[in-house]
Amino acid sequence: MIGISVVMKGELTVGEDLVIEGTFDGTITGEGTDTVTVRRTARVRGEVSAGVVQVEDGTNLESTTLTGRIRLAR
């Protein structure tokens, strides 16, 4: 988990599900079956690639590319 008060920049490769509540600037790569969940409180800039990318409605995805099966959560 990238908590609400966390600010990260760089490249992150995950081998399990990931929840982002804070700020991330860079590239997140998940394996084919992983789910990356981007919460409404998150600020993400860069690239997010995973089997499933779930994004809460109202999330700030400034200059972000999403790759995988995209789900919009309310």
Question: Domain residues for 47?
Answer: 7-73
Residue 35 lies in a domain: yes
DSSP 52: E
The total of structural domains in the chain comes to 1
- Is 6:22 a contact under the CB 8 Å cutoff? yes
- Is 27:46 a contact under the CB 8 Å cutoff? yes
pLDDT at 62: 81
Radius of gyration of the chain (CA): 11
- Is 21:37 a contact under the CB 8 Å cutoff? no
**pLDDT above 90 (res 3):** yes
Does the pTM exceed 0.85? yes
Give the distance, in angstroms, between the CA of residue 52 and the centroid of all CA atoms in the same chain: 10
Residue 1 lies in a domain: no
Residue 58 lies in a domain: yes
The pLDDT tens digits for 12-54 are 999 999 999 999 999 999 987 899 999 999 999 999 999 999 9
Residue 11 lies in a domain: yes
Residue 65 lies in a domain: yes
